[in-house]
Structures are given as C-alpha cells and as structure tokens.
Amino acid sequence: MTAAREVNVAIIGGGLMGREIAAAIQRWPALVDHPVRPRLTAVCDLNPAALEWFRQIDTVRSFETDYQAVLADPSIDVVYIAVRHDLHEQLYLDTVRAGKDLLAEKPFGIDGPAADRVIEQIAASSSFVRVSSEMPFFPGAQWVIDYVRSGAAGRLISVRSGFLHSSDLDVDKPINWKRQAQFCGTAGVMNDLGMHAWHVPLRLGWMPSRLTAQLQDLVPTRMDAAGQPTVCDTWENAAIHADVLASDGASSGDFLLDVRCERVAPGNKNTWYLEVVGMDGGVRFSTAQPSRVEVFASVEVPGVGRDQAWQVVETGSQSVWPTVTGGIFETGFSDAILQMWAAFLAEREGVLGDRFGCATPSEARAAHRIAEAAALAHESGVRVELS
C-alpha cells in the first residue's frame, strides 16, 4: 500500500456545514486505502467568534476573517466554501483565479447568469471544481442508482425525487436570509434545496423536456431581528412535474418525473427520497429510514399465486468508498458527508473510476435552468419547454 498524498484544505464559512466538513475530515482514517489524506489547515469567517470551534483541531494553523488571505496562501490545495448564495459568484471566481481547487456549495451562484460566469472562469483555468450534494451518498441511494443502471426496472413509468424539511414550519421563527431574494435568489427553496433533489436525476440523464410547477409562499411575512415585520419574497415549497423524453425520440421511452423541494414539510426533519418505478420492477429509498431500501417485484404467494409486493432490503454501511465500518452496521448524515468528500478527492486525484461522483458545475447550471422554467410555469400557468 502506497502512502496517501496529503492535501491541504481550507474552509471559508465557519457555520453549520463548515463544522460538518471539518468533522468529516477528522474521520478520514475510517476510509480504506484512499489515495489522499486531507488536512484542514485554514478556516475563514467574517465573524471571529465562528472560528473558535475550529481551534480544537490541531492541524488548523490559520484563522482568518478575510478570505483573500486564504486564497493567497500557496500551501492551500482545496477550498470548501459555504456562504450565502449572493456571495457565491465573487468567492468562487476569486478561488478559481487563485488556482485553487474548489468544492462549492449549491446552488452555485444566486442565479443562472452567476453560474455561467463562474463556469466560464473554470473553463479558462486548471481548477477542479465540484458542487456539494451529500444526500445521494447514503448507501441506500447508491443501491437505488445501481438498480436503475442495471435496467431491472424495465421501461420507466415514473420517478419521484425530493428534499423535505420543516425548518420554516414555525410561523414565529424570525426571518433569515433564505427567505430574502436579495440573499437567497428569487428561486428560493429551489436554490436552497434543489441541487439535492436534482443531482441523481441529472446524473442519470433525466433532464426534463417540459414541465409545470406549483410554488408556495406559505408565510409571507416574518419578524426581523429588530422585531419589525419583513416581507418574505422567496418560495418556501416547490413541486415540479416534468416529462422526460426518450433520447432516441421513441415515445415508448418517455416517463414522468416529480421533484419536490420543501422548507415547510410537517413531519420531516431533513428527508431526501428517490423512487423509480418501471414496468418490470421498482425501487425506493428515503433518508427517513436510512438503513433500508424497498424493491418492487412480482412474488409467489403460497395459496394465492403470483402477486405484487414491495420488499425490504437492509442496506448496511458501505457506499461509494469502502470503510472500516462493518457492512452490518447502519449509516447516517455524517457518513454521507465523508463519502462525498472521499468521492471529491478521489475524482480530483483521477482514481474515482466509475463510482458515483459529486455534482458538477454543469449539473448545477441545469438545476438553475429548471428553477427558471418552474418560476415561469408557475406564473404563466402553462407547461414550459426546456430546449
């Protein structure tokens, strides 16, 4: 076994996801024979108090409040950035111009034109850039992807994908930046959660040909920090109903695609799901039941004969990159983040092979196109074609 190559990582944005990524890097020895060994060496946040949590990590030697200081550090190889959507474009452009590789947070710019400008800069550089979307790295999600790619479902009838949580269910919750278009973008929840819901469909080639959409603004006013009522001008919930046309032009290969993103979804903490149903079989997975996948098939029932059934399969712990964790054990959100980083750094190293990889900038741009079409469909009440 050859020694893993060390890669120095910087985190810009010391909030919830910044801490999650730092914790995942500390768990790196759980991976088996990964060719890279990341070291978190720098952290940056405008708020000095946000940096204090990271002082317990002994590899971190740089604590900054100006991200330019991080980008100017020649020892930094990879930068992870988790900031408000309105700040994406400038930070991503500056990171690529500095010659750093980047794991960027979704939605990859506040809107499509912002994403386009970043993608143009990437094309003119040698930087390796991917977009954070950890939910498809659950073992159950990988089980579904492998099942679909095997063709076991037969001709597809319908696909359902979504990301649901209840963070805005409390109507007395003060307004935050995700309910303000100037910070989150007018796409609202489709910016905030959309990439998670579209990552797998887009990776499997299921770009909508046309769609309709229903968008909801359920709590139009919330109090600001000063106790003053403030208009919420972004969408909280989005339901997109799309047609996916067969690539060969034969209508017998068309199917329906339903994608939902909701910040007001009672009964859901942070639930990602994917269901694929075809003429020969089906499969579904939800992070609400992270240890199991359900498979649809025809079964022999004693005394009855052939009948239809959803059967439960326990998934275990293994995902994209093998770990020391026994396959009989179960998995969770932190494990999915570790797998996302394992995939990112393996692909950066050129050794991911045919394993499932992180979302690409072009997939993030496609998600923006879909959100733009969904907003138009909702406003006009007509089905919108995507060229």
* DSSP line for 112-130: HHHHHHHHHHHHTS---EE
The arithmetic mean of pLDDT across residues 289-307, rounded, is: 87
Does position 249 have pLDDT exceeding 60, yes or no? no
Using 50, 70 and 90 to split pLDDT, how confident is the model at 385? Answer: very high
Phi, psi of 295 (to 5 degrees): -120, 130
pLDDT digits (tens, 9 = 90+) for 211-246: 999 999 999 999 999 999 999 999 999 999 999 998
Position 379, amino acid? E
CA distances from 103 to 191, 269, 340, 350 (A): 17, 25, 10, 16
208 in Cβ contact with 243 (< 8 Å): yes
pLDDT digits (tens, 9 = 90+) for 109-140: 999 999 999 999 999 999 999 999 999 999 99
Using 50, 70 and 90 to split pLDDT, how confident is the model at 252? Answer: low
Of 116, 176, 198, nearest in space to 374 by CA: 198
Give pTM, 2 decimals: 0.95
The arithmetic mean of pLDDT across residues 30-36, rounded, is: 96
Using 50, 70 and 90 to split pLDDT, how confident is the model at 250? Answer: low
Using 50, 70 and 90 to split pLDDT, how confident is the model at 248? Answer: low
Does position 306 have pLDDT exceeding 70, yes or no? yes
Residue 308 to residue 79: CA distance in whole angstroms: 49
Residue 31 to residue 88: CA distance in whole angstroms: 30
- What domains are there in the chain, each with its CATH number? 5-131 (3.40.50.720), 135-332+343-385 (3.30.360.10)
Residue 244 to residue 205: CA distance in whole angstroms: 9
Using 50, 70 and 90 to split pLDDT, how confident is the model at 1? Answer: low
Per this entry, what is the length of the chain?
Answer: 387
The arithmetic mean of pLDDT across residues 335-363, rounded, is: 98
Of 117, 78, 43, nearest in space to 361 by CA: 117
Question: What local confidence, expressed as pLDDT, does residue 386 receive?
Answer: 93
Question: What local confidence, expressed as pLDDT, does residue 17 receive?
Answer: 95
